[in-house]
Amino acid sequence: MTITSDKVWTRTLAALTVGAAAVVLSGCSLLGNVTNTPIDVDPSDGTDTDVFTIKVGDCLNDGTATGEVSTVPTIDCAEPHDSEAYASIMIPDGDYPGEDAVLDQANTDCEAEFAGYVGIAYEESTLGYAYYYPTEESWASGDREILCLVYDPAGQVEGSLAGTAR
């Protein structure tokens, strides 16, 4: 899969969806690979966490996530992990702007926030980014968040990527 940016996600993590949890949660799906298949999570890879509760600074082992998800493994950043949440962008209330508009905003805002967290501009970095974003279904439940994730295309990292200037 590829992210709509200059860099290719060499693992299966691309852009995941984050939204507000609802009793009848339809789940979240990967950008470019939308299905109704839940993921299988190895508990040794972290603690299953509701995708709607991930916050900036959380580290994730979600590189094998495919299809719709409602939980992803979070793990202590000192342990090997696939990605790290680095920015939360809130889309203003109103009608759902459409997936293309949400993805455009996610790319623009995640790239703009990258240097503030990593310590180097995205264009100069060896790291990539992906994001969770609201779908039309999660929007109806109040979801307005784009959650930006930083990752190393070479594989898992140990420790936070905050301020690493890589």
Q: Is residue 4 part of a domain?
A: yes
Q: Is residue 124 part of a domain?
A: yes
Which pLDDT score is estimated for 39? 36
Strand intervals (E) in 34-127: 47-50, 59-60, 71-75, 83-90
Q: Is residue 164 part of a domain?
A: no
Q: Is residue 163 part of a domain?
A: no
The DSSP line for 86-98 is EEEEEPPSSS---
- Give the Cα separation of 69 and 67 in Å (integer): 6
The answer to whether residue 155 scores a pLDDT higher than 50 is yes
- Give the Cα separation of 25 and 71 in Å (integer): 11
- Give the Cα separation of 126 and 20 in Å (integer): 32
Q: Structurally, how many domains does the chain consist of?
A: 1
- Give the Cα separation of 159 and 166 in Å (integer): 13
- Give the Cα separation of 102 and 98 in Å (integer): 6
The answer to whether residue 26 scores a pLDDT higher than 90 is no
Burial letters 115-140, b for 16+ CB under 10 A, else e: eebbebebeebebbbbbbbbbebbbe
Confidence at 86, pLDDT banded by 50, 70, 90: very high
Q: Is residue 32 part of a domain?
A: yes
Which pLDDT score is estimated for 22? 29
Least confidently predicted of 27-36, 96-105, 113-122, 146-155: 27-36
CB 26 within 8 A of CB 138: yes
The answer to whether residue 158 scores a pLDDT higher than 50 is yes
Q: Is residue 149 part of a domain?
A: yes
The answer to whether residue 23 scores a pLDDT higher than 80 is no
DSSP state of 17: -
Boundaries of domain holding 34: 1-158
Q: Is residue 166 part of a domain?
A: no
Q: Is residue 165 part of a domain?
A: no
State the pTM of this model: 0.75
CB 3 within 8 A of CB 14: yes
User: Over the stretch 123-148, which tens digit does the pLDDT of each residue have?
Assistant: 999 999 999 899 999 899 999 999 99
Q: Which two three-digit tokens encode residue 164?
A: 């690493």
Q: What are phi and psi of 34, to 5 degrees?
A: -85, 115
Max CA pair span of the chain? 42
